[in-house]
Every structure is written in structure tokens, then in C-alpha cells.
A and B are shown apart, each in its own frame.
Chain A
Amino acid sequence: MSEHESTYVPKTGVEKWLDTRLPIIRFGADYLSLPTPKNLNYWYTFGGILALCLVIQIVTGIVLAMHYTPNTEMAFASVERIMRDVNGGWLIRFVHANGASMFFLAVYIHMLRGLYYGSYKAPREMIWILGCVIFFLMIATAFLGYVLPWGQMSYWGAEVITNLIGAIPVIGEPVLIWLRGGPAIDNATLNRFFSLHYLLPFVIFGVVVLHLWALHTSGQNNPVGILIPKERTAKDMVPFHPYFTVKDGFAIILFLMLFSLFVFFMPDALGHADNYIPANPLQTPAHIVPEWYMLPFYAILRAIPDKFGGVVAMFGSIGVLFILPWLDTSKVRSMRYRPTMRTFFLIFVFVGVGLGWCGGQLPDAQVVPGMPSFNLIDGQLNSYLWLTRLFTAYYFAFFFIILPLVGLKETPLPIPLSISEPVLTGPDAMAHAVPAQAEKKG
């Protein structure tokens, strides 16, 4: 798998027997003893947190499926039965619902970490691409899952998003009917959404296995962004266990505290009150909004005036992530040493949050209340619609213009020779600093 040689020695008779037939203990022991860069900071704990989130969602989901009924007449009532009558059902339901939000919070931080430290750059492109696949599957799973309680937002969110399929030219309409199982969203739709919602997490699990396999093949990146050569393993690496098992464990406990704050004290804060109204196909809610983690993409969808154009832009905003490794021209991985790019990155984070904020607003609403609109273009520049367009422009510019250009033009800071150096001699004393171009491509 990687350059790490197995140091496991089977001791007991059972271990020896197993080792020659199914070396599963060797596999586990090698995993735990894997040399890991010693300078990984807390941003690197989110991988472990995400693994926990996936397990939590699958376990609570399977339990909920023991009590849930995927039929339009009974779905809403079956969820309330879980909340009221099933032993501890309220806890399992709230963990699953808030767990989805926590899952996305962690995945966004995990992805931003990857962006900042250049973890998507060679030789780690496959880790990044598999991660994008997982992200896309997560969005699909969350969308399907939100329909299941069959509240107003469940129904109308499904209505809006599936209608987007209808916007695809030529094949859109027949595909839409095929997807829904009928002319409108009804029992056929709910039943199949339940089946697919149950399936996809196991597909995610499989892709996560591939994601970790790719990680162990290329080796773990680190905040300095340099490849750690074999001869420096002893000085610069520590075994994964116990150093990073305990660090991941500590981070997980803090994460669970945030999770518990939501589950036990504000369980409905991240949801929408309208989803406690049973679905009514004859009455549209005042504002149809998806869950918060989909808001940036929802904003991009509404920013484009053309319906199909909006669909392309929305899927494009996720699709652009897949080609990221080839958009960035910089030879330096970590933005610690790319101060220009770091500024653009921080703006990107702000724009991402901003897009999310805009997604939750009415497009016509005024950004700065009371300020008169400039008589430019359509006199509506003080609206969230135009703010969203501004943010969307930056979002795509970041990938297609800024990343390629800045990589070519910027002067990065000197990169340390090894990851131990900044620790021992301080980040300013770059006595042995090498210019960026000398770094060998792995």
C-alpha cells in the first residue's frame, strides 16, 4: 500500500494461524503503527470526525428504519410515533437529523483544510476526487432523507429540486416522470426515495474505503506541505497510535459536545418550522428553503435567470471541485507559504458563507434596508439577487481565474527543508530555506 513496511509479528497461535489465512490483524496493526507527520494540527482531526459521523448516521438510520413507514398517509405520523412512543426514539431521531448538519459542517471544514494545505495536489489527486464523489453522494443522501418526514418542506423541496431535472432539454420531462414514478410527487416517489436513502450511505462507505486506500498509497500530507522522504521518517513522523488516535479522540469529544448542544438543547434550530406541517400538495409554503448546508448551491441556482442555466451553474459549482488539481498551477502546496493565495482563500471562505446567507433570503429583499437602489442594469442592485450574483462570480473566478493565475505569478515564502525545522529554529529563521522550484514532484 505505502512505503511503510509491516512491523507486525504474530505472537499467539491464533494470530499466526490467522496471519497466513486472512491477515486482518496485520492490517489493523499496520494501520495503527503507520508513521504520520508529527506536525498535523487540529484541522486534520476532521477526517476521523467524519468517519464517526458516517457511523452515527448509519446506525441511527437503521434504527429509525425499524419504526418508519414510507407511505404518504403514515410517514409524518410514524416519525411522530418515534418521537413519542418508541423508547428513546426522540433521541435517535434528533441525533440523526442534527447528525446530518454536523456531518456537513465537518465535511466543509475538511474540504477547506484540503484546499488550504494543497492536499489535492499531486500525488494526491485521487484522494481529492474520491472526496468529491463522497461529497456529492452526501448531498444526494441528505436530499432524499429530508423528503422522508413528509412535511411541507420535504414535499416542496422535493418538488423544486426534481423540477430542475425537467429543465434539461429533450430528455428532461420523461426522466422527471421516471424519477417521480408519476406526474407528481406522490407515494411512488416517497417509497423509492426511502429505498435509495437507505442504499447510498453504504455506497459512501465503500468510497470512503477507497478514499483511505488512496490516502495510504500517497501518504498523509502535512501543514508544511512538503513530502517527507524515507530517511526522515524517524525524525519527522510518529506512529498513528497512540499519538493521533488520542488527538482524534480528543477532537471527537469536543465535536460531540457541540453535537450534544444541538441535540439536547436546540434540536429544531437548524431545521425549518414548516416541516412540522404535514405535506399539502395544494398549498405552497411562503419560502421554500433547503437545509442550511445546501443553501450556497441553492443561491447559485437562483442567481442565474435561465432555469437550465441555473441547473448547470449549480451542478457546475460542485463539478469544478473535481478538476481542482489541474486548475492550481502553484508548485507550492501549503498556503502557509503562499500569502497572496491565502488572502484569496479567506475571501473564498467568506463568499461561501455569504452564498449560504443569500440562499436563505428572498431574492428581492434589500441587502441594506432603506438604501436607494442605483439606477443601473435593473435598478435592483441592492437586492440579495445581485449580491448572490457577485458572490457566484467570485466563486467561479476563484477556481478558473485566481487559482491558475496566482499560482503562476506569486512569490511564495521560503519553504523549510523539513517539518522539524520550523519547530526547532522558528519559522523566521529559514537558514536552510529552498526556493519553491527545487521541491521535487513526488
Chain B
Amino acid sequence: MTLSFRKTLLAIAAVAGLSVAASPALAAEGGHHLKDGGFSFEGPFGTFDQGQLQRGYKVYREVCASCHSMNLMHFRTLGERNGPFYDPGAANPAENRFVKALAAEAQVADIDNETGEAVMRPGIAADKFPAPYPNHTAAAAANGGAAPPDLSVMAKARHGGANYIYSLLTGYDTPPAGLRMTSTQHYNAYMAGDLTPFMPAGAEVPPGGFIAMPPPLANGQVTYDDGTTASVDQMAKDVSAYIAWASEPHAIERKQAGIGVLAFLAIFAGITYASYRRIWKGVAH
């Protein structure tokens, strides 16, 4: 029937139009095609690989957390369904034994119950991840003026998400000859920026930009508990997956709910359409 066909076309056109309008301009910033991390959670049926999330958490905790906070993450979130340390046997995420053990490894600022003075105590599941610096100014001062950004929602704060983080961490290519840089800047092929002013006139401008963070990963830096070889590539993938999970812990729940909702709506649409045809039967219109 032409009208439903048109409606479907309209819907498709709307989606296409909206998606196209929503995408950013491919500006002259070095729109380098991102590497593909082959992540298991991409697509409508994706799920997180719990082993990868655990490895990624270890990389974050041992490498990144010395400079990058995750202020919106709590230890108990690690124990939620689809998270790195989910245990179906635990009554709730806060009573998860892995979560309690990981929390206890961290030192958290608190005040003494009786004297009120500032103390450090082992963490509990309900605590936030402790931040490496007390405030933004201290973070910037300790890092040459550039404060390391918080990673809580980093996969959503950058176009390309986990693939962008993975590309960036493995994107410290050798800078091309002639690129003028100072000792505090590092060339990265995936960092946003325009390097035209830093190349000699007429030379081909390389993609990417300068990043203040030196290459953070080195082979064998972390020892994985499951025996996986900790290459830079592997660690970059794992920590990117972990950051993607931390950016939206309910992502898998969202997709699974979506499949159910769309299935229900499709059936509901069919029933209602039949009802519509029945009501309008015999009415010339």
C-alpha cells in the first residue's frame, strides 16, 4: 500500500538525513581513518568480553591512574552486570568479593570519626575511584600546564570512541622530517590538530597533531593475570575496551532492551495495522 511504503521511506530518509546532519565536518584537522580495534561490543548485538575488561582495568589502574582520574566511577560499578568483575553469586555489586578486594587495594581520603582530621584509609565498594591529584590546578601544574583529562566518559567524549583511544595510544608514529616540535610535545597521527604551521613551507603536512602525553605504554609494562602477552597493541585494545565500558556501563543492557522493544513494536504495529484495515474496510478514502 503506497501510504505505508511512503511512511517507511520517510522514516529511512529521516534517519539518513539526521545521521548525516549529525556527523561533523571532516575539517582540515587530519581526518585520519581510525584503526579498528576489533571490539566485541560494537553493533546492536555486541557484548563486552569480561576478560578484556579485567585486563583493561589492570592497565588503567597500574598505568593510567597515576595521572588520569575517573571521578564518576565507583568501585561497586565494577561488579555490575556486564562489568569486569560481575559475579552472579554476589548479593549485589557492593558485596562482590572481587570489588571489595580491589577497593581495599586503594587508599581513599576520609576524615577521622572522632577527631575530624584528614586521614587515608583503605577503600570500600561504595567509594569513588581516588583521583591522583586533589584538583584541576594541581593536575595541570604537575603535567607542564596540561591537565590529564578525566577518563570516566572518554569513549563518548571523542568521535570514534574506543577505536579513537586505541588509535591514539598506538599512534605515536615517527614524526616526519622537518616537523618542528619542542621537547614537551609529542607527535601523534590521530590527535586532533593542524600541523601546517610546524612544517616547512610547501612540505606535505602529516595527519594528526601534538599531544602533551608521552607514549604511555611499553611492551610488558603490565603482567596480565590470565597470561595474555602484554604488548602495546594488546594493552591499548584492552584499556580502550575498559574505558568504553566505564563510559556507559549499561550499554549492553540498553542494546538488549532495544531488541525486545523493537520486536514488540513491530508486532504491535502489525496488529494495529490489521485493526486499522478492519475499521476502514468499505470506506472509500
Q: Do A and B have CB atoms closer than 8 angstroms in the complex?
A: yes
Interface majority SS (helix, strand, loop, mixed), chain B: helix
Q: Collect the chain A residues with CB atoms within 8 Å of residue B227's CB.
A: none
Decide if B14 is an interface residue (CB 8 Å cutoff): yes
Decide if A242 is an interface residue (CB 8 Å cutoff): yes
Q: Which of A34-42, A177-185, A317-325 is the interface stretch?
A: A34-42
Query: Do residues B157 and A263 form an inter-chain contact, with CB atoms below 8 A?
Result: no
Choose one: A257, A261, A353, A424; the contact of B284 (CB below 8 Å): A424
Q: Which of A8-16, A354-362, A399-407, A429-437 is the interface stretch?
A: A354-362
Decide if A80 is an interface residue (CB 8 Å cutoff): yes
Query: Do residues B29 and A91 form an inter-chain contact, with CB atoms below 8 A?
Result: no
Interface residues in B251-272 by Cβ distance below 8 A to A read 253-255, 257-259, 261-262, 265-266, 268-269, 272
* Smallest Cβ-Cβ distance to A104: which chain B residue: B18
CA–CA, A41 to B247, complex, Å? 44
- Which of B71, B156, B253 counts the most chain A CB atoms within 10 A? B156
Q: A91 and B284 in contact (CB under 8 A), knowing A84-B72, A105-B14, A357-B21?
A: no
Query: Do residues A257 and B266 form an inter-chain contact, with CB atoms below 8 A?
Result: yes
* Smallest Cβ-Cβ distance to A90: which chain B residue: B250
Q: Mark A260-291, 1 if CB is under 8 A from B, else 0.
A: 11011111111111101110000000110100
Query: Do residues B269 and A276 form an inter-chain contact, with CB atoms below 8 A?
Result: no
CA–CA, A264 to B257, complex, Å? 7
Residues of B within 8 A of A (CB): 3, 6-8, 10-11, 14-15, 17-22, 24-25, 27-29, 44, 71-72, 77, 149-150, 152-153, 156-159, 192, 247-250, 253-255, 257-259, 261-262, 265-266, 268-269, 272-273, 275-276, 279-280, 283-285
Q: Collect the chain A residues with CB atoms within 8 Å of residue B18's CB.
A: 101, 105, 269-270, 292
* Smallest Cβ-Cβ distance to A292: which chain B residue: B21
Query: Do residues A353 and B17 form an inter-chain contact, with CB atoms below 8 A?
Result: yes
A-B contact pairs, 12 of them (CB 8 A): A42-B6, A90-B248, A254-B11, A257-B265, A258-B15, A261-B15, A264-B255, A267-B254, A270-B18, A277-B149, A292-B18, A353-B17
Decide if A77 is an interface residue (CB 8 Å cutoff): yes
Query: Do residues A287 and B24 form an inter-chain contact, with CB atoms below 8 A?
Result: yes
Closest 8 CB pairs of A and B: A264-B258, A276-B157, A276-B156, A253-B269, A90-B250, A38-B285, A80-B72, A276-B153
* Smallest Cβ-Cβ distance to B267: which chain A residue: A253
Q: Collect the chain B residues with CB atoms within 8 Å of residue A289's CB.
A: 24
Q: Collect the chain B residues with CB atoms within 8 Å of residue A264's CB.
A: 254-255, 257-259, 261-262
Q: Mark A289-310, 1 if CB is under 8 A from B, else 0.
A: 1001001000000000000000
Query: Do residues B272 and A356 form an inter-chain contact, with CB atoms below 8 A?
Result: no
Q: Collect the chain A residues with CB atoms within 8 Å of residue B10's CB.
A: 109
Decide if A171 is an interface residue (CB 8 Å cutoff): no
Q: What is the number of contacts between chain A and chain B, taking CB atoms within 8 Å?
A: 135
Decide if A238 is an interface residue (CB 8 Å cutoff): yes
Query: Do residues B3 and A260 form an inter-chain contact, with CB atoms below 8 A?
Result: no
Query: Do residues A242 and B3 form an inter-chain contact, with CB atoms below 8 A?
Result: no
Decide if A246 is an interface residue (CB 8 Å cutoff): yes
Q: A83 and B248 in contact (CB under 8 A), knowing A253-B272, A264-B255, A273-B156?
A: yes
Query: In angstroms, how far is the closest chain A Cβ from the Cβ of B268?
Result: 6
Query: Do residues A247 and B157 form an inter-chain contact, with CB atoms below 8 A?
Result: no
Query: Do residues A286 and B29 form an inter-chain contact, with CB atoms below 8 A?
Result: yes
Decide if A243 is an interface residue (CB 8 Å cutoff): yes
Q: A260 and B153 in contact (CB under 8 A), knowing A249-B272, A254-B269, A265-B44?
A: no
* Smallest Cβ-Cβ distance to B73: which chain A residue: A84
Decide if A188 is an interface residue (CB 8 Å cutoff): no
* Smallest Cβ-Cβ distance to B280: which chain A residue: A243
Query: Do residues A269 and B19 form an inter-chain contact, with CB atoms below 8 A?
Result: yes
CA–CA, A430 to B28, complex, Å? 58
CA–CA, A221 to B191, complex, Å? 56
Query: In angstroms, how far is the closest chain B Cβ from the Cβ of A244?
Result: 10
Choose one: A84, A242, A295; the contact of B249 (CB below 8 Å): A84
Give the total of A residues in contact with B, Cβ under 8 Å. Answer: 60
Q: Collect the chain B residues with CB atoms within 8 Å of residue A276's CB.
A: 153, 156-157, 247
CA–CA, A318 to B254, complex, Å? 37
Query: In angstroms, how far is the closest chain A Cβ from the Cβ of B72?
Result: 5
Choose one: A238, A246, A256, A268; the contact of B283 (CB below 8 Å): A238
Q: Collect the chain A residues with CB atoms within 8 Å of residue B257's CB.
A: 91, 264
Query: Do residues B269 and A80 form an inter-chain contact, with CB atoms below 8 A?
Result: no
Decide if A18 is an interface residue (CB 8 Å cutoff): no
Q: 17 new A-B pairs (CB below 8 Å) besides A253-B269, A257-B269, A423-B285?
A: A250-B272, A253-B272, A254-B8, A254-B269, A258-B15, A261-B15, A261-B258, A264-B258, A264-B259, A270-B18, A271-B22, A272-B24, A274-B157, A277-B157, A295-B21, A420-B284, A423-B284
CA–CA, A243 to B275, complex, Å? 10
CA–CA, A260 to B3, complex, Å? 22
Q: Collect the chain A residues with CB atoms within 8 Å of residue B279's CB.
A: 242-243, 246
* Smallest Cβ-Cβ distance to B72: which chain A residue: A80
Choose one: A246, A256, A365; the contact of B276 (CB below 8 Å): A246
Choose one: A242, A263, A353, A360; the contact of B25 (CB below 8 Å): A360
Choose one: B15, B17, B250; the contact of A84 (CB below 8 Å): B250
Choose one: A84, A261, A267, A423; the contact of B262 (CB below 8 Å): A261
Q: Collect the chain B residues with CB atoms within 8 Å of residue A312's CB.
A: none
Choose one: B3, B25, B283; the contact of A38 (CB below 8 Å): B283
Q: Collect the chain A residues with CB atoms within 8 Å of residue B17's CB.
A: 353
Query: Do residues B192 and A286 form an inter-chain contact, with CB atoms below 8 A?
Result: yes
Query: In angstroms, how far is the closest chain A Cβ from the Cβ of B85?
Result: 16
CA–CA, A273 to B283, complex, Å? 50
Query: Do residues A41 and B3 form an inter-chain contact, with CB atoms below 8 A?
Result: yes
CA–CA, A260 to B10, complex, Å? 16
Decide if A129 is an interface residue (CB 8 Å cutoff): no
Query: In angstroms, how far is the closest chain A Cβ from the Cβ of B145?
Result: 12
CA–CA, A295 to B6, complex, Å? 26
CA–CA, A356 to B159, complex, Å? 21
* Smallest Cβ-Cβ distance to B20: which chain A residue: A357
Interface residues in A382-419 by Cβ distance below 8 A to B read none
Q: Collect the chain A residues with CB atoms within 8 Å of residue B283's CB.
A: 38, 238, 243
CA–CA, A254 to B272, complex, Å? 10
CA–CA, A250 to B262, complex, Å? 14
* Smallest Cβ-Cβ distance to B136: which chain A residue: A280
CA–CA, A230 to B253, complex, Å? 55
Q: Collect the chain A residues with CB atoms within 8 Å of residue B261's CB.
A: 260, 264
Query: Do residues A80 and B153 form an inter-chain contact, with CB atoms below 8 A?
Result: yes
CA–CA, A277 to B20, complex, Å? 23
CA–CA, A261 to B265, complex, Å? 11
Q: A265 and B272 in contact (CB under 8 A), knowing A80-B72, A242-B279, A277-B157?
A: no
